[in-house]
Structure 1
Amino acid sequence: MPGQFQPGQLQPGQFQPGQFQPGMAPGPTQGMAPGVPGFHGAAHKPGAIPLRPLGLGDMYDGALKIIRFNPKATVGSAVLVASVAMAVPIVITAVVTFAFGLTLDLEATSFSTSEVVGLVVSVGSLVLGLVLQSLGLVLVTGMVAHVTAAAAIGQRLSMGEAWARTRGKRWRLIGLTTLLGLLSLLGFAAYAALWIPVIQLGDLGTAVIFGLVTLPLFLVALWLFWVRVYYLPVPALMLEPVGVFGAIGRGYRLTRKAFWRTFGIGMLTLLVTSIAGQVLATPIAVVGQVAAVAGATSEYGALILIVSQALSSVVTAAFVGPFTSAVTSLQYLDQRIRKEAYDVELMTQAGITAR
């Protein structure tokens, strides 16, 4: 099988003395890996993670290893889809800039019809690019789920192999993501609708009391939906023979009696990736804004601004998408290990026999 390590053979670029790397699964007759720090026997850790219930450190360490040793299938795929999506607003803005003279003159007191149309088209193309990027990253999430499952048993997937494993599930994945998004919007719309009669009363005191009572309840309901319904269906859909609703059901069952653990790791991951994404993207965005303002009286101000926003979006997607997807997939594996003894099946897939 591609990416596996066979006993007595070394694959160039995959192994260094004294260091275990995912992508090399021990053969059935191997028992220990002497000299490898943190390796507790072949039956425990054939790949990126130990085959036992995972702690937070195991998940984060495993996610980083998965990205490090599968860069093309994780970061590479995220950069590819984000770059293609963000090329759309860049190309459209460039055409509008050179063909219709789109400017970003901050000192102008009025704008011509062509300038307004050009600006609307440019901003609209950026929104379109973000939507396309989101759809592309959904597919990347499905690929990372397969990369994570393979890394757990010591296999390394190329981008092509990871993409091939999503065959037959891609439209279901997009449908699942769309359905979950619509359910989220429906929840927000329902809560907003509850405020209509309160606002119509025009009583500030009633509105304050209503908000103090209902807002915490709404947040609790939102968190419950996120953990029990929204969080784990994607890896379940990609790694199990289930459909859209079956994946939602699997995610719901796997998070039963594991709400706080799933919620805590998910929120911490969201916080970490948000901060990291801002750290990576902010310098690019700031430089772009400064350059755009400096060239605001020229015809290139809007184009510079769009290019900087597109680059910052690609850089953010390159880290946030793969890492978040890997951690989510590891939480899925962890819950199956805890509830279904899935580690035994993973050992079998890795070619490890009971000793």
Structure 2
Amino acid sequence: MTVATGRARRRRVALAGLGAAFVAAFAARVLLGDYTFTVPDFFRILFGEQIPVSTFILMETKLPRAVMAVLVGLALGTAGSLFQMLLRNPLASPDIVGVSLGASAAGVFAVLTLGLRDDAVSVFAIVGAVVISGVVRWVAGTTGGYRLVLVGVGVAAAMVSVVQYLLARSNTYDVQLALRWLVGSLNSVQWPTIGVLALALAVLLPLLAVLARALPALELGDDAAAGLGVGRHRTDLLLLVGVLLTAAAVAAAGPVAFVAFMSGPIARSLMGGRHSLVAGALVGAVLMLLADYVAAYLIPNTVLPVGIVTGAVGGPFLLWLLARGAATGRTG
């Protein structure tokens, strides 16, 4: 067996393992917890049978949270891997370059200053993410890479200041409404919101699959990609899709910290050092399902926002990644 064949086999095994982990995490989130379901009961309720109490808990609480966790995880995991592939930097996730915070700041502004709610706030969040990403790209120029990450960090810090100012001048009730735009939460998930996010992914993911054919060339660098006939505009289009994936997820659940950031490096490690959008998406979905399970049951009678759990894990992960980069003379 050649080296190439062995690597290809490892990647297939890794994807199969991630698929199995995804199914197991989804089953655990739906079937286990403080109110458990058997597999037969799950499918009986899913296909319309009414079981007192059980039907309500499954269809209005557990299942919508699990489905939302999957969709948000897929969106953020894909976006994180895409950013890191295009910018050739393991720190270049939507969390780091300001996209998530741009959406959050716009959402908080809509809630606290304009008094908007629900879908109108989501629209503001998406617009905020797109505008901030455009500002970061414009200030960073065409060099990309570490310059874009540094500019993104600066813009993200500015967005934090905006959010803090808005919170400081608002009353307590309005601040409570804005909290989901600060930490990320799957609490009180509604099926219509899930439907909108699912529709967004149904449009963006196939578009990404078409555009991603240029990724092998773009990973070689802008000059090499240009020599292969792939222009810089393709990079900008792919980044825009990544921004929209992030914005859709943030609009639905708030800025769930570090999922996009963690998904890329974990997927790359499992895939033997090779980037994979599919692996990144699966890792993101698994991380969201596990984090939401912990958020729901870590503290009895208390349901934490999922962003608290992902932030608690992602912060040390970032420090570890930086420490490993310092030890090996590289980042990531």
TM-score, normalising length: structure 2? 0.32
Q: Which structure has the greater CA radius of gyration?
A: 1
Compare the two structures and name the one with the higher helix fraction.
2
Alignment TM-score, normalising by the size of structure 1: 0.30
